[in-house]
Amino acid sequence: MMLDLVKYPVIRTEKSTRLIENNQFTFDVDMRLTKPQIKKLIEEFFNVKVLAVNTHRPPRKFKRMGAKSNYKRVIVTVDSNDSLLK
């Protein structure tokens, strides 16, 4: 299922909590997803209209025994009439 590719919502950072006020929500997703796939996934699952999808790949964090898994961070802008928080 495509929803398994969305790892989790990011709510623990100051920036992500600030963006919620502007109807922008942050998720960590699988590296293989593209912007159109992310847009379609969020629109179908949450039943909202997505206006924009911004992505970036944070640098990998290396630990003593190896590296932490890589992911893509996504900021999704939702229409002002819709909200993911219901």
Residues 10-49 pLDDT 10s: 888 888 888 888 889 998 888 888 999 999 988 888 889 9
Rounded mean pLDDT, 63-85: 81
Residue 71 above 90 pLDDT? Answer: no
Report the pLDDT value the prediction gives residue 17, as an integer from 0 to 100.
84
Q: Is 83 helix (H, G, I), strand (E, B) or coil?
A: coil
**Two structure tokens written together for 12:** 């623990």
Q: Is 56 helix (H, G, I), strand (E, B) or coil?
A: strand
Most confident of 17-21, 62-66, 69-73, 74-78: 74-78
**Two structure tokens written together for 32:** 């293989």
The number of beta carbons lying within 10 Å of the beta carbon of residue 41 is: 21
Ordered structural domains, the chain, with CATH: 2-78 (3.30.70.330)
Distance CA 76, CA 51 (A): 8
